[in-house]
């Protein structure tokens, strides 16, 4: 019979968080452009054009945050892993791969800050420019959570990264998607800076 350990569940939650965060990141990039004027957008079915991408972006952020929070919490339940609450505050005390755990913890904190400061009531008090500059932290957050996912040994045995493992391949694809989208977003920024 198939047995699912807390370690497996934690790894699955981490992968799910990676996928949702990647999708959320792409939505955020799309929202920062004039996507509704794009001819490709206008060719989409009317039902899709009526979707509120801002709401979808917000809700995927909440889902990603829940998954990212559950990822370490479930790991704490695995007695063999040796992780506890103290690693959320002092990640360098982790029993395994402390620097990689540090990247995951920093990205979790950055995600929490990004989600909290994106709440309408908080964002309005901050002002748009300050919020926008703070929101740019999400680019570094994406790098940190992806590198954490790529380098962390899913069995916590300090094995070298298996780059063709299915879990790692998923993270690699997410990283590639974010890098390519980031490149095109930067090109869009440069193009519109020239015309402004």
Phi/psi-derived region of residue 12, left when phi > 0, alpha when psi is between -120 and 50, beta in every other case? alpha
Distance in angstroms (rounded) separating the CA atoms of residues 120 and 123: 5
pLDDT mean over 6-23: 96
pLDDT mean over 107-112: 96
- Residue 1 has a pLDDT of 54
Terminus-to-terminus CA distance in the chain, angstroms? 63
Tell me the pLDDT tens digit for each residue of 134-143: 888 888 899 9
The answer to whether residues 41 and 49 touch, using CB atoms and an 8 Å cutoff, is yes
User: Looking at the whole model, is its pTM more than 0.85?
Assistant: yes
Tell me the pLDDT tens digit for each residue of 161-194: 899 998 999 999 999 999 999 999 898 888 887 7
Tell me the pLDDT tens digit for each residue of 54-98: 999 999 999 999 999 999 999 999 988 889 899 899 999 999 899
Distance in angstroms (rounded) separating the CA atoms of residues 37 and 11: 40
- Residue 113 has a pLDDT of 95
Rounded to 5 degrees, what are φ and ψ at 85?
-60, -30
103-107, 146-150, 156-160, 166-170 — which is least confidently predicted? 156-160
């Amino acid at each position: 019979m198939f047995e699912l350990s807390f370690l497996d569940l934690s790894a699955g939650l981490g992968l799910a968080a990676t996928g949702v965060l990647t999708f959320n990141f792409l939505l955020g990039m799309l929202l920062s452009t004039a996507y509704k004027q794009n001819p490709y957008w206008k060719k989409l079915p009317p039902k899709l054009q009526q979707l509120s991408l801002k709401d979808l972006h917000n809700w995927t952020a909440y889902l990603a945050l829940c998954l990212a929070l559950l990822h370490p919490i479930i790991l704490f339940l695995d007695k063999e892993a040796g992780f506890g609450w103290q690693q959320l505050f002092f990640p360098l005390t982790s029993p395994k791969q402390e620097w990689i755990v540090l990247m995951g913890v920093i990205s979790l904190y950055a995600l929490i800050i990004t989600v909290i400061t994106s709440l309408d009531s908080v964002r309005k008090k901050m002002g748009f420019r300050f919020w926008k500059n703070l929101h740019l932290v999400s680019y570094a957050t994406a790098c940190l959570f992806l590198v954490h996912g790529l380098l962390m040994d899913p069995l916590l045995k300090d094995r070298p990264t298996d780059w063709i493992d299915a879990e790692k391949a998923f993270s690699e694809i997410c990283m590639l998607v974010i890098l390519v989208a980031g490149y095109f977003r930067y090109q869009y920024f440069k193009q519109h800076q020239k015309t402004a």
